[in-house]
Amino acid sequence: MTTRERSLLTKEWYVVPISVDCPGCGAQTRSGGIVVGPSSLTNTTAFDLDGDLLKAPWVSLDSFAFVERVAGRTENVERFIANRYHSMFAVQDGGLKSVCEHCGDGLPAPLIRVAAMNGFVRLGQKKLVANEGLTLFLSKVVLTEFHGGTLIADAGLRDGGFSLLLLCDAEDGRNRTGVVEIWHSVARNEYAIVVKGHEGDELLRLAFYEALEHIVDDIAAVGLVLTQLHLAQDGSPYCDLARDLFLEALERSGYEQDV
C-alpha cells in the first residue's frame, strides 16, 4: 500500500458501507468510506484549481485508493458527500470525517480503512458498488493505494470506442490558453473530455459524462472559459449534431454566441 498527500480530481469514486465499533460511545455503528478509482487524477497540494489548470499536468492514479483524510477546499465535499450521506459523513475540523450514527463522533481512518477496502473488493466482485459519477475536487487528500486485481477495466479513449467530435479553445484564470477536446462513445453512450495545454500536451482527462450539460458545468468548475468552437472533422454529420447540441448546452449555461 502507498500513502501520500496530494490534490485530487475525479469522476470515479465510490461510497462503501461499513460496520465498526465506535471508540467514542462503544456501540456498533454503520458508516462509510470513500474509495476512488484508477481514472482519478492527482497533482501537488499547491495546485490552484482557479488558475493553474492549463499550467500543471495531472497524473493518473492508475489504482484504486482509500481516502484517508480530506482537508482544504470542502465545498463540493459537503455538497456531494456529507449532504447526501449525512448519516455516514460530516465535515468536522475542516475536513471530511466518517461518523458514528449514534454519537456523531468522527471515526479514525485506521479504524475504517480495512473495513472499507475489504468491503469494496467484496462488493465489487458482486458488482454491488456504483460509481457516483460526480466531479469531485479535493485540494488536499491522503490516499492509501491498494493493489491487486482491478475490478473495473477502463480502456483508453480510442480503444474504448470513443470518437473525437469537437475542439474548444479555452483560457484559464491567468489567461493561459489551451484546448478542450470533446469525445463520445456510441457503445457506452458516454462523453469524455481531454484538456490540453498551449503546446498540445495533455493535462487531464475526465470521462463518465452522460450529457453535454455536465461537461459545460465541469469546464466552468475547473476555472476554464471557452472562446471558440471547432469541428473535429469538417462535413461530418456526427460532429455537426454534436456542435448544435453543445451550443444549446452552452446557451443554457449563459454563454453568448458571436455572429
Which residues of the chain carry a pLDDT beneath 70? 1-4, 147-160, 258-259
Q: What is the pLDDT of residue 42?
A: 92
CA 254 to chain centre: 24
| Residue tagged 473495473 (cell numbers) | 152
The sign of the torsion formed by the CA atoms of 129, 74, 38, 2 equals negative
| Residue tagged 452552452 (cell numbers) | 250
Domain ranges of the chain: 2-146, 162-252
Q: What is the pLDDT of residue 19?
A: 95
- Measured distance CA(146)–CA(242) in Å, rounded: 39
